């Protein structure tokens, strides 16, 4: 099984192919080898290895998604194809194909085996903004490969103390690396208590005092000139009664910082209605944030989370429900849709209060290979998963993302006219994600 998309690659993407190429997503079937997959698409096997950064090309997993960069800037016509279907596949117009192939006298009479030149496509793909949250612990190698794919990099995080002071972080290395790649750093502030989690009382103390807010803004203004483009406010688990105080705070932040040339972003919980109940949701006012700030990051993940029963982290059907509400109250171009760059491994049977183990997408596939599991794909959630038994004979269930699930989510960006996407987090490198993203969109760079 294969899904066809298109991709324009540059050296900055970490690949050496040039020009427009076809990118296919191949789902490994029983009996497939990397050699047979490469032969099926007519590409060198090494290209497939490099694109997926496969550690052991000899060992594939049934159900595994493999991206295949299949060909150069020409398309070989297959039986049943028309110029119209080829134009749709490459997101170009029939007229542009005719201009690039002056030898075609009758568009209705192209033949199987005929080579069709595909015109450059970058101007035909939508341009979006891409944010990546990052912890300062990111390795130099992952940072170097990731920055070309980002518009913004949001360094997590300066923790706000109850007196308005900030817990310092080591952010200089990331800021200095980002600038040459035309990736703009964002300063992130959170109501996370030192050494702990999000704290409602810290936010309440800050939001209840104008003098503490003044101290906080003064401390923020000392840090922003380090090279930050703007401020990302990520206050979570706020008391419902602090809703209007939080709205006033973000308006005040925008009024104070925007005249200095800084942009303002907020991160919001994934709501499907204004009346949604719960500590995570009630104080996050979509219309107020949409009116006050430059970008809103929707945290459209964590349906499956550390303490939940096993399920997809970001099921596309539920992500879409959030977007359906969000675009009615927030200008769509201000919205960056959240995408998780992680999965979870649950121990079965699920016991309430037990914790799942976080796992990267590449590590999930490596685990499936190690335990000889078959990867399945949930069509409703558009997410891959598998089950296995550990050495203690305990059953596990793993949900993660692959090229297919990433493609399904990214389609929502164009469908709803969003400004772009935001990844939590980019500390681990998932090559398939960036290949699929670049196949569908151009990434906006600033400067």
Residues facing residue 132 across a β-bridge: 153, 423
Distance CA 13, CA 80 (A): 34
Secondary structure class of 263 (helix, strand, coil): strand
Residue 78 pLDDT? 87
Contacts 24+ apart (CB under 8 A), 352-360: 352/307, 353/307, 354/307, 355/306, 355/307, 356/304, 356/305, 356/306, 356/307, 356/308, 356/310, 358/306, 359/398, 359/400, 360/400, 360/428, 360/430
Nearest to 341 by CA among 360, 355, 315: 360
CATH homologous superfamily of 2-124 equals LysM domain (3.10.350.10)
Nearest to 380 by CA among 299, 302, 318: 318
Q: Is the alpha carbon torsion for 61, 316, 128, 237 positive or negative?
A: negative
> Contact, 2 vs 26, CB < 8 A?
yes
Render 150-190 in DSSP notation, one character per residue. -SEEEEEEEEEPTTS-EE----HHHHHHHGGGT-EEEEEEE
User: Taking the chain (447 residues) in consecutive chunks of 10 residues, what is each chunk's mean pLDDT?
Assistant: 46 35 84 91 87 93 91 73 88 80 80 76 79 98 97 98 98 97 98 94 98 98 98 98 98 98 98 97 98 98 98 98 98 98 98 97 98 98 98 97 97 98 98 93 90
Q: In the numeric block, which tokens belong to residue 317? A: 């059907």
Distance CA 303, CA 308 (A): 8
Determine whether 221 is an active site residue: no
Query: Cβ neighbours of residue 247 under 8 Å, at least 6 residues apart?
Result: 285, 288, 289, 292
End-to-end Cα distance, the chain: 41
> Contact, 41 vs 65, CB < 8 A?
no
- Pick the catalytic residue: 53, 58, 81, 236? 236
> Contact, 71 vs 6, CB < 8 A?
no
* Best CATH choice for the domain 127-443 from the list 3.40.50.720, 3.50.50.60, 3.20.20.80, 3.30.70.20: 3.20.20.80
pTM more than 0.85:
yes
> Contact, 356 vs 306, CB < 8 A?
yes
> CA 153 from chain center: how many Å?
12
Distance CA 294, CA 420 (A): 13
Domain parsing of the chain, residue ranges:
2-124, 127-443
């Amino acid at each position: 099984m294969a899904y066809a998309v298109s991709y324009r690659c540059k050296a900055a993407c970490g690949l050496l192919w040039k020009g427009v190429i076809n990118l296919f997503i191949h789902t490994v079937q029983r009996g497939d080898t990397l050699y047979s997959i490469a032969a099926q698409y007519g590409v060198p096997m090494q290209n497939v290895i490099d694109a997926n950064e496969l550690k052991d090309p000899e060992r594939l997993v049934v159900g595994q998604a493999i991206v295949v960069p299949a060909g150069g800037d020409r398309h070989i016509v297959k039986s049943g194809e028309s110029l119209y279907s080829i134009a749709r596949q490459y997101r170009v117009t029939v007229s542009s194909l005719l201009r690039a192939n002056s030898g075609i006298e009758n568009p209705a009479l192209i033949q199987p085996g005929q080579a069709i030149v595909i015109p450059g496509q970058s101007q035909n793909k939508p341009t979006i903004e891409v944010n990546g949250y990052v912890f300062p612990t990111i390795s130099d190698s992952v940072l170097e490969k990731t920055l070309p794919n980002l518009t913004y990099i949001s360094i997590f995080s300066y923790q706000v103390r109850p007196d308005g002071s900030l817990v310092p972080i080591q952010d200089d290395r990331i800021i200095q690396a980002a600038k040459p790649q035309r990736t703009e750093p964002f300063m992130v502030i959170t109501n996370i208590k030192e050494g702990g989690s999000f704290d409602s009382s810290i936010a309440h103390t800050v939001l209840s005092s104008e003098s503490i807010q003044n101290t906080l803004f003064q401390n923020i203004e000392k840090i922003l000139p380090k090279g930050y483009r703007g401020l990302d406010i990520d206050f979570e688990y706020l008391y419902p009664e602090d809703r209007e105080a939080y709205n006033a705070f973000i308006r005040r932040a925008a009024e104070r910082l925007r005249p200095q040339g800084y942009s303002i972003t907020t991160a919001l919980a994934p709501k499907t209605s204004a009346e949604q109940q719960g500590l995570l949701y009630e104080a996050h006012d979509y219309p107020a944030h949409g009116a006050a700030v430059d970008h809103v990051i929707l945290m459209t993940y964590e349906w499956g989370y550390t303490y939940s029963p096993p399920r997809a982290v970001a099921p596309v059907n539920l992500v879409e429900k959030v977007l359906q509400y969000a675009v009615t109250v927030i200008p769509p171009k201000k919205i960056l849709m959240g995408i998780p760059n992680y999965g979870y491994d649950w121990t079965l049977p699920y016991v309430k209060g037990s914790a799942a183990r976080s796992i990267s997408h590449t590590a999930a596939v490596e685990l499936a290979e190690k335990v000889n599991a078959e990867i399945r794909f949930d069509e409703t959630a558009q997410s891959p998963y598998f089950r296995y038994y550990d050495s203690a004979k305990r059953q596990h269930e793993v949900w993660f993302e692959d090229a297919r699930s990433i493609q399904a989510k990214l389609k929502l960006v164009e469908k709803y006219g969003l400004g772009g996407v935001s990844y939590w987090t980019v500390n681990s490198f998932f090559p398939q994600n960036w290949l699929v993203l670049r196949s569908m969109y151009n990434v906006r760079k600033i400067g």
